[in-house]
Structure 1
Amino acid sequence: MANSYTYYPDGSPTINLLNVTENIGAVDLWGIELEGDVSPTEGLSLSGSFGLAESEIKSFVCAECLNIAGTDDATGNRLSGVPRLTWTASASYEHPVAEDWWGYARIDYRHRGRQYVDYYNAAWSRNDDKVDLRIGARQDNGLSFEAFATNLFNEQTLTGFRGTDLVTLATNDIRIALPEKRRLGIRFSYEF
């Protein structure tokens, strides 16, 4: 964890930043991760994953918390940037469609649960659910083409959160990145 502290050398009004990488102190962290794959019929593959992460900060002197709430104590809060639940589900199917050609389709569903933006746990992101789709054909000699869509339903969950702004040191200020937009495209490739 990197904490940023302000200091004013020699009574100067100029703000100076001192970035210090520190051990977060003590955290109770436990979780479970499961993954599985199954092929119930020829050409069909199903896969999925599940993750559960529980965390509780036991001790941490939090400079960011001081800017947000006037206290440097983050005890009892969850780690920022760590969603409690994540899971994925995928299905793919491949079948011969012509001599030396295989058609395929794949759909992926990705879920990321809400996560806190800061160590004070004052703000969080909502659940993020995205669906990706690919449909195409490949030839045994390495030629392939496909149509694809990422974030098919154009989910608009914001990402890339950062607590206190390290440039202005503004209190109660959270910076975010724009959401990943839907992308549609066609891809051609040749492997040799």
Structure 2
Amino acid sequence: MDEEVLTNYEVGLKGTFLDGRLNLNAALFRIETDGYAERANLFFFPEGSDSNSVLNALEAVGMATGNGLLLNLSDTSVRVRGSVNIADITSNGFELDGVYLLGESWEIAGHFTSLNTDFGTGCAPIGANFGLPLQDFVLASGGTMACTDISGNAFPFIPEIQYGLAATYRDQLANGWDWFARLDMRHEGEQYMDWFEAGWLPASTKLNFRAGVNPGNVRLEFYVVNLTDDRTPLGAQYEPDRKEVANFTGNRGPTNNTGLNVALAYPREAGLRFSLNF
């Protein structure tokens, strides 16, 4: 494996406007990652081992290419946890955030991020999970690895667009107690969940609300998290059926002999918080 080299370029500005009521921060950046490395289970057949039956079974489903390195389980192989350079990555992005004081009681805050992260020329292990065409990738060890061309694909789990907005109101009650109310929103765009752009998570928007009083060193707060009860999953990852893999039966596609681990969203939650500073 070659070393992974990361180069970062960034230019930005910060400013205060409207007699100090508006603060803005903005930045343009580019990140170049040469030789992005990914962890993988690497399987080697010991010299002289009787592994032909296993190799033939793996070759039949596109999981191996002759003697050398495999990405699968077998009783006649040696497994090593290692890293493989799969591609170069380029990220281009823009960030903007700011706070605006509206009158004596209102505060408006927001942020926006646009990020485009793509693979350069590269080959990732392994597209057989998704029924994608395979090619040979020759490693420094001399072994070969079954992989799929991912050139130009988007990096997984990074939405291209993210933004948020929050409005906070603060005032005093007749008895002198401070009180506040806050409504905030966060949006994340669609994001792929694998190197091969075979599946994706939909865009999601979450709303949260808080309101409370703060008499001296005591704070009492009512809150609602996920106000609209948005159930967009937080994440998802393909997981092969280990029984089918061990027996080399069927085609390991995303809808055939492959499971999907899903991180479910937290449902709407409401409650009271009490805190005491001393």
TM-score by length of 2: 0.62
Q: Please tell me whether the aligned partners of residues 93 and 115 of structure 2 are also in contact (alpha carbons under 8 angstroms).
A: yes
Say if 2:109 is the partner of 1:47: yes
Which of 26, 38, 41 matches 2:88? 26
User: Within 5 Å, which residues of 2 pair with 1:3-22?
Assistant: 3-5=39-41, 7=43, 9=45, 10=49, 11=51, 13-14=74-75, 18-22=80-84
| Residues 29 and 110 (structure 1), Cα distance of their counterparts in 2 relative to 1, 3 Å cut | same
Partner AA of 1:130 in structure 2? K
Which range moves more in the overlay, 2-11 or 57-66? Answer: 2-11
* 1:49-108: CA deviation from partner (whole Å, max 9, x where unpaired): 000011221123211434322432111100000001000000001100143411100001
Number of positions where the alignment pairs a residue of Structure 1 with one of Structure 2: 190
Which of 199, 217, 233 matches 1:158? 233
State the structure with more CA Rg.
Answer: 2
Which of 178, 186, 192 matches 2:264? 178
Partner AA of 1:36 in structure 2? G
Distance 2:230 2:117 in 1: 27
TM-score by length of 1: 0.88
Q: Please tell me whether the aligned partners of residues 114 and 127 of structure 1 are also in contact (alpha carbons under 8 angstroms).
A: yes
Partner AA of 1:145 in structure 2? L
| Residues 153 and 60 (structure 1), Cα distance of their counterparts in 2 relative to 1, 3 Å cut | same
| Residues 22 and 91 (structure 1), Cα distance of their counterparts in 2 relative to 1, 3 Å cut | farther
* 1:26-55: CA deviation from partner (whole Å, max 9, x where unpaired): 112101010010001112100000000112
Secondary structure at 2:127 match in 1:
helix
Distance 1:64 1:162 in 2: 14
Say if 2:165 is the partner of 1:103: no
Partner AA of 1:82 in structure 2? I
CA RMSD in angstroms comes to 2.3
Q: What percentage of aligned pairs have identical amino acids?
A: 24
Say if 2:99 is the partner of 1:37: yes
Secondary structure at 2:231 match in 1:
coil
| Residues 94 and 26 (structure 1), Cα distance of their counterparts in 2 relative to 1, 3 Å cut | same
